[in-house]
Structure 1
Amino acid sequence: MPPARRQRRLPVQVVVNRLFLAGGKKKAYAALALTLFMVYFAKPEFHVDLKAMNTITEETKAAEALVTSVWGNVFTRIFLAVEGESIEDLRKTGDRLAGLLEREVASGTLSSVFIPSMIFPGEERGKENFRAWKAFWNRKRVAQFKKSMDAASSDLGFAPNAFAPFYSAINTRNYDTKDIPEAFFALFGIARNRDGSGWVQFSTLTPGANYDGEAFYASYGAKGIARVFDPNLFSERLGRYLSSTFQKMALIIGLSAVILLFLFFMDIKLTLITLLPIIFSLICTLGTLKLVGHPLDIPGLMLSIVVIGMGIDYSIFFVRSYQRYACENSEPLGLIRLTVFMAGASTIIGFGTLSLADHSMLKSAGLTSFLGISYSLIGAFVILPPVLETLFVPAQFPDRARTGAGKIPANVVKKYRHLEVSPRLSARFRTSFDPMFVELQHFLKTPGIIMDIGSGYGVPAAWLLELFPESRVFGIEPGYEKARISNRVVGDRGSIIQGSAPDLPVVPDPADAVLMIDVIQYLADDQLKLTLERLCRQLGNESLLIIRTKVCLEKGIGLPGLFKNIGSRAFGTKPHYRSVHEIRTTLIETGFEIQTVEPSGKGRGKTWFVAQIRRNRINMS
């Protein structure tokens, strides 16, 4: 039967692998150079004009220009609203407001003002106007005016008494307040409140050359003189508020992402490395927007949250794939690269198309997202590979004995550096608090081959390989993840396979020592006996069987054992705790001779059993 053909890779995957693997550190240096160049231009400039988010056709622009030429620009006018319980209250407020607005016109803050008090003043302002009127029309000026008018009116054909009403008004001695005719209420913007409890008056002002919206609002609106509505000021404040809100939101999401990444990795270096493409994308996006003359506006701020989220996703995929597979040439890592590339490319195409839209808001959102996601993807493919390849170089075991045992715990922890959280914390806590390692080395001299049944994350195996440079470890572990981690830690100094007792790992020669550390309490009686019988047939006469287990005392297994028992049952594992006598009996029945029985640590309820094959059992074999 001919051999199966080698499966061909997709052309896209070949291209992606070349983009990812080619260049090495040169790509990272190029990205660093680009970042340093863009930093100079990366100062964010925020543009929060809401009008810039509108897009209108040329016909609409022409119509707006026509309306403005006829009626003026109504969107630049200022609107005032004053309230009063009665019309008289409105007139008093209007009198006060009229004096203030006249000074604003004189200073150039306003160009034109009209309020009803200018035609129908209240009592106080009316009296002031009347006194000014009388002061202006003194006797000398009235006589001169009449003389000039009589001469001019006669030449123009006016009747002699044509201006008699005006002369009568000039000579009026008493002021008479005039009420505002109700027919003029609509014209003057006077109306009742909706609940009918009072009156409100609306006035329109035109800003002048020296107009400052913030200062005008502070002088009138903030002090309660009148309610002010300035469309431009409202637009500016709303834009600043939205900009500030989205900036805070982006900052909160960014900080939350950093915290979540740290809690996910529990590793500062991995957290910072995951953020490198995002930092690269942020700097380059701001720099590019500055170079093309496009400030960061509200749509860009809104989409920055999406860019941060997607960029972190790309980084997490790569960091986790290196954390798991460690080799950039592995097939699963290649599939992950292809997945990230396809996801990023499809998103870039979508936002790139959006950046060509005619609508300014859609165009801005598309351009910002296109640049942000593109730089995030470039950063993930350019920056992360050389950094992760350097970071995940496996720590090597010594080729000769260590001079001091004090360095062994730190060296063991280094083997788990930057791996998943569970094995890393397990290695750190076990080497720091478990007395097993100090006690275990007293039972062994210079073992060549060590069989480890129930390797866990391989912490005891790593310890022994550090302690004995000539040793090799072959183990078996029922958990797939634990077997994978421990096999990676052991490296070329042995192998750990997935499986469970009574199956045994394959060893090239008879093992010099067999470890069963915290294992036999998870084996039923028949499984334990079968495992020991198989070991008895494989071991040599000098081989050691080293067991550590929690024993069942007369007073029970203790509080820690009780909690562990509950946890084991929660995960579907039923522990089988045995007394020292029961373990002794089982070892003897399966052909072992017990050499040592001693407690492990103080108050832990665990006991060491060291045994060898009985001499007569060897002779019988």
Structure 2
Amino acid sequence: MVSLFMLVIIIIGSAFFASQLKLSEDITKILPDTEKINNMNFVYSNSKFLDKVVFNISFADTTINNPEQLADFADKFIDSLNSKFVPGLIQSIDLAPGQEEMLSVYDAVYNNLPVFLSEEDYKIIDTIITADNIQKSIASDYSTLMSPVSFITKKLIAKDPLYFTPIALKKFSAFNIGNNFQVFGRYFISDNHRNLIILITPVSTNKTASNNILFDGIDDIIANLTLVDFKDIRVDYFGNAVVALGNANQIKKDIIITITIAMLVLILVITLFFRSKRTFLIVFLPVVFGALVSLAMLFILKKEVSAISLAIGSVLLGISVDYALHIYSHFRQHQSKKLIFKNLSTPIILSSLTTASAFLSLYFINSEALNDLGLFAAISILSAAIFSLIVLPHLLGSKKEVASEHKPNWIDKLANYNFSGNGYLKSGIIITTIILYFAAQHVGFDADMMKNNYMSDELKQVEKRLNAVTNLSKKTIYIVSPGKNIDDALENNTLTSTIINKLTNEQIIQTAAVVNNIFPSQSQQEEAIIRWNKYWENKRETVIKDVAKAAVSTGFSNKAFNNFNTWLVRDFSTITPANAGIIQQLFLDKFIIETDTMSAIINVVKVGSNEEDINKVYDAFAEEDAMWIIDKRLITSEFVTILKDNFNKLIIISLSFVFIILLIAYGRIELTIITMIPMIFSWIWTVGIMGLLGIEFNIFNVIILTFIFGLGIDYSIFIMRGLLMEYKYGIHDISSYKVSVILSGITTLLGIGVLIFAAHPALRSIATMSIIGILSVVFITLTLLPAIFSWLVTYKNGLRNRPVTLLDYIFSLWALFVFITGSLFLSAISIILYIVPIPKAAKKTFIHKLFRYLTWFMIYMNFLSGKKIINPNNEDYRNPAIIIANHQSHIDLMLM
């Protein structure tokens, strides 16, 4: 009763603490804690415009062009967004600047024009200020003013009759939607009046739960608006948040469908095998208990864990079912709870320790999510094992009930088959392993995580339509220049802008929004002002006179352009982002990051899908420490590279943990080694088959390898237990261990292998690896392990006097090597002596002595074996004698 009370307390307490655990949906937690990834997190956490969602409002009939209707729809759409989702789920909605804002930008540029002009711009000014072109410009101004134009236009002409300001203003167009768009009211509309673009920034790209609510709500708004009043309108939207949500939803959908299928099949298989309806529920109790305890421990230790680690870990928890299956299958066979503890307590504890240690080896990978995964899986497995041994036996049926249910089936028949006695199977495994070992050398790491992204056909069409009208959905790379403060960042961005402009001129970069092109650093501004003053030093008076002359000849008064004259002779000074006014508000604010510890400038470049061009952009900035390349694809590629570098370390650590645990448990290195052989062989098979099928490692299937590693050890431990029981006590019960291994393999294969039917490529990758690995590990364990164990303890005439030890084996191999080498050496010496001109008797004596020394060395080199010479007659073999040897020993002939 006390035990039951304690169990209830543990379950209730675990459930309570587990419910308090916070889940982080930040996908970046799976990435390692490196400088580049920390830089990316800094930019994504502080940027005001990254990961925007682009809305393309257009007509379903592409021949219609009605900007008023598009704008009317956009008005109602934005009103709905503002009322429902701002500020809770939408951070900002970006529209086109209004007329007043554009005039303010014009004034800001006009009043500080020198700082916005590059050296190349003066070549344009050279053509503008020729006497003929001044005359043409003033005449054009006069014609414009004579037509019905606004007061604002008249004001602009008076200030800048030669249109110097538009030279600088053109640079701001790179920060707009695109060259083929114009401002229509407060919106950006394409030149053909068929597409209207709106940008929104979700509060968080990585929080799929909140984004699911957001985009479901947006879909409802669009559906309601297009139901009656705007039937011809089509709204597409695309962005990282949309793709991330699509991935998350597809994974959920796939998992729900596949788990449903798997559960139904597992219920059928387990129920039919054990012939008990309640068995299925009881079998999964250790899994539930292990998960609860693990979540509770995670709360106590960490308070918050990565959601993705729990998602992957929940898939791997299937290994915990094995312990219940082993217990049930043994009870089914023997109907004795005492035998369960006697036969299974050691292998279950040993299995849980080795598997947990394999998962804990993930702690040696520099990734918070993988660390969480390792801890979650390890605690779950240990808890499930303890529950299986202590609680589960009390839930088993009566002997009579189980005995009536126990009827042999095809699994029993398969378990009774002597795989290890089939020479063809054993030879096939050895040959296949050798072949697959070389095939495994060709398996690479797929650094492009984007291949494991899922995009529905509908979303692909949306991206295609958006690419047709704008470059907003094209491949975007952010080049960031950090600094101690804004001016330091702008100074660092000088070189960045030079490289970007060079790549743009080479057409590697399609378009680029470079901050220094519209707002230079302080030193650049100072140089620009000096350049301006030097340029106008000998030209200013001439231009003023030419403008006045052209004005009078065209019909203006001689004072019409006094403002221009005053502006041309004024002194200009540098500006900072803080006093840049409207330029800061509309442009710089989105591309500048300011924190207490660091500032940064963000430049946005667009490239095509050409792999070569993308890599050229990466390479151009790779060696520059003062520049950060912020691109999720590059970051994930680096993670996979790090994972690849740590992969061998992960294997060595896992093997070391398992080796030490098995060595302590068995006390014999021979048993430890042969227990690990099936796992190593199955690993080679899995990776080798990957090589033959052209499958590469990625971030997902590497984790599954750890799972297969654990399964291989588990199965070997249980089969080894059956073999040892038979060898020690003569209990022929190996078939019951085989049954539980086969049943475990079937249930695991069904549980995870069913993911092969998933639509998401990452889940299919997991399933493919699982199917290959599970089939390999079951087949090799059932075939190879009993065969090797049998070789250790038996020979053709029965049991050995003592089992083969590792030292015996090493010295046997060493003796064979010495014998073959010595034989070849003596043969070579004999051939050489044949042509040497010395007496034949001397040759024979020399050969005999060499042969004697070789045989003496072969006998005495095994210093671990004791040697006792029995010679009662003190025979020294100087006199001729007949010696008879019946070759009962391998060394009798060598002794003679």
> What band does the TM-score fall into relative to the shorter chain?
0.5 to 0.7
2: CA distance, partners of 1:202 / 1:8:
70
1: CA distance, partners of 2:654 / 2:478:
39
Indicate yes or no: 2:458 matched with 1:72: no
| Paired position in structure 2 for 1:532 | none
SS at match of 1:77: strand
Q: Which of the numbers 667, 670, 690 marks the counterpart of 1:269?
A: 670
Indicate yes or no: 2:424 matched with 1:26: yes
| Paired position in structure 2 for 1:307 | 708
| Paired position in structure 2 for 1:39 | 437
Indicate yes or no: 2:687 matched with 1:286: yes
Indicate yes or no: 2:239 matched with 1:239: no
| Paired position in structure 2 for 1:417 | 803
Task: Read off the aligned partner of 1:29 and give its amino acid letter.
Answer: S
Once the two structures are TM-superposed, the CA of residue 202 in structure 1 deviates from its matched residue by: 3.6
SS at match of 2:694: coil
SS at match of 1:307: helix
2: CA distance, partners of 1:23 / 1:416:
22
**Conservation of the 8 A alpha-carbon contact between 2:529 and 2:573:** no
Cα distance per residue 1:188-241 (max 9 Å; x no partner): 333897767886544333469375465455544x2xx35552333222223333
SS at match of 1:371: helix
Q: Which of the numbers 441, 447, 467 marks the counterpart of 1:48?
A: 447
Once the two structures are TM-superposed, the CA of residue 60 in structure 1 deviates from its matched residue by: 2.0
1: CA distance, partners of 2:515 / 2:603:
8
Q: Which of the numbers 11, 14, 18 marks the counterpart of 2:409?
A: 11
2: CA distance, partners of 1:19 / 1:161:
112
Once the two structures are TM-superposed, the CA of residue 286 in structure 1 deviates from its matched residue by: 1.5
1: CA distance, partners of 2:557 / 2:615:
49
| Paired position in structure 1 for 2:781 | 380
Task: Read off the aligned partner of 2:447 and give its amino acid letter.
Answer: V
2: CA distance, partners of 1:248 / 1:68:
44
| Paired position in structure 2 for 1:537 | none
**Conservation of the 8 A alpha-carbon contact between 2:499 and 2:620:** no
Q: 1:95 to 1:319 in 2, by over 3 A?
A: closer
**Conservation of the 8 A alpha-carbon contact between 1:137 and 1:170:** no
Q: 1:148 to 1:280 in 2, by over 3 A?
A: farther
**Conservation of the 8 A alpha-carbon contact between 2:476 and 2:606:** yes
- The number of equivalent residue pairs is 392
2: CA distance, partners of 1:273 / 1:198:
57
Q: 1:323 to 1:145 in 2, by over 3 A?
A: farther
2: CA distance, partners of 1:241 / 1:107:
32
Task: Read off the aligned partner of 1:417 and give its amino acid letter.
Answer: P
Task: Read off the aligned partner of 2:477 and give its amino acid letter.
Answer: R
Structure 1, 182-191 or 364-373: larger mean CA deviation: 182-191
Q: Which of the numbers 343, 351, 355 marks the counterpart of 2:744?
A: 343
Which of the pair is proportionally richer in helix? 2
Q: 1:212 to 1:329 in 2, by over 3 A?
A: farther
2: CA distance, partners of 1:66 / 1:276:
55
| Paired position in structure 1 for 2:5 | none
Cα distance per residue 1:38-91 (max 9 Å; x no partner): 233212322233323332321122223334442434652214254555x66665
| Paired position in structure 2 for 1:58 | 457
TM-score where L is the length of structure 2: 0.37
Q: 1:345 to 1:78 in 2, by over 3 A?
A: same
SS at match of 2:417: helix
Once the two structures are TM-superposed, the CA of residue 377 in structure 1 deviates from its matched residue by: 0.6
Once the two structures are TM-superposed, the CA of residue 103 in structure 1 deviates from its matched residue by: 5.0
1: CA distance, partners of 2:523 / 2:594:
29
Q: 1:278 to 1:195 in 2, by over 3 A?
A: closer
SS at match of 1:80: strand
| Paired position in structure 2 for 1:185 | 584
**Conservation of the 8 A alpha-carbon contact between 1:114 and 1:203:** yes
Q: 1:165 to 1:359 in 2, by over 3 A?
A: farther
| Paired position in structure 1 for 2:345 | none
1:430-441 matches, within 5 Å, as none
Q: 1:387 to 1:138 in 2, by over 3 A?
A: same
Q: 1:416 to 1:110 in 2, by over 3 A?
A: same
2: CA distance, partners of 1:264 / 1:340:
21
SS at match of 2:682: helix
1: CA distance, partners of 2:453 / 2:447:
12
2: CA distance, partners of 1:197 / 1:17:
66
| Paired position in structure 2 for 1:118 | 517
Gaps of 5+ in 2: 1-404, 806-896
**Conservation of the 8 A alpha-carbon contact between 2:515 and 2:601:** no
Once the two structures are TM-superposed, the CA of residue 379 in structure 1 deviates from its matched residue by: 0.5
Q: 1:231 to 1:299 in 2, by over 3 A?
A: closer
1: CA distance, partners of 2:562 / 2:730:
106
TM-score where L is the length of structure 1: 0.52
Once the two structures are TM-superposed, the CA of residue 31 in structure 1 deviates from its matched residue by: 1.4
2: CA distance, partners of 1:37 / 1:197:
56
**Conservation of the 8 A alpha-carbon contact between 1:81 and 1:200:** yes
Task: Read off the aligned partner of 1:347 and give its amino acid letter.
Answer: T
Q: 1:227 to 1:90 in 2, by over 3 A?
A: same
2: CA distance, partners of 1:342 / 1:226:
56
Task: Read off the aligned partner of 1:77 and give its amino acid letter.
Answer: I
Gaps of 5+ in 1: 1-6, 398-410, 420-621
Structure 1, 184-193 or 312-321: larger mean CA deviation: 184-193
Q: Which of the numbers 248, 252, 255 marks the counterpart of 2:656?
A: 255
Cα distance per residue 1:236-293 (max 9 Å; x no partner): 2233334545653343112221232233333343333222322321222122222222
SS at match of 2:418: helix
**Conservation of the 8 A alpha-carbon contact between 1:189 and 1:202:** no
**Conservation of the 8 A alpha-carbon contact between 1:150 and 1:160:** no
Task: Read off the aligned partner of 2:462 and give its amino acid letter.
Answer: A
1: CA distance, partners of 2:753 / 2:529:
71
SS at match of 1:295: coil
SS at match of 2:604: strand
**Conservation of the 8 A alpha-carbon contact between 1:78 and 1:204:** yes
1:87-102 matches, within 5 Å, as 92=491, 98-99=497-498, 101-102=500-501
Q: 1:149 to 1:359 in 2, by over 3 A?
A: farther
1:105-254 matches, within 5 Å, as 105=504, 110=509, 112-130=511-529, 132=531, 168=565, 172=569, 175-177=572-574, 180-190=579-589, 201-206=601-606, 209=613, 212=616, 215-220=619-624, 222=625, 225=626, 228-245=629-646, 248-254=649-655
SS at match of 1:205: strand
**Conservation of the 8 A alpha-carbon contact between 1:80 and 1:226:** yes
Once the two structures are TM-superposed, the CA of residue 418 in structure 1 deviates from its matched residue by: 6.4
Cα distance per residue 1:463-495 (max 9 Å; x no partner): xxxxxxxxxxxxxxxxxxxxxxxxxxxxxxxxx
Q: 1:164 to 1:126 in 2, by over 3 A?
A: farther
Once the two structures are TM-superposed, the CA of residue 325 in structure 1 deviates from its matched residue by: 0.9
Asked which structure has the greater CA Rg, the reply is 1
| Paired position in structure 2 for 1:571 | none
2: CA distance, partners of 1:356 / 1:109:
40
Task: Read off the aligned partner of 1:124 and give its amino acid letter.
Answer: S
Once the two structures are TM-superposed, the CA of residue 167 in structure 1 deviates from its matched residue by: 8.2
Once the two structures are TM-superposed, the CA of residue 376 in structure 1 deviates from its matched residue by: 0.7
Task: Read off the aligned partner of 2:676 and give its amino acid letter.
Answer: L
Q: 1:301 to 1:331 in 2, by over 3 A?
A: same
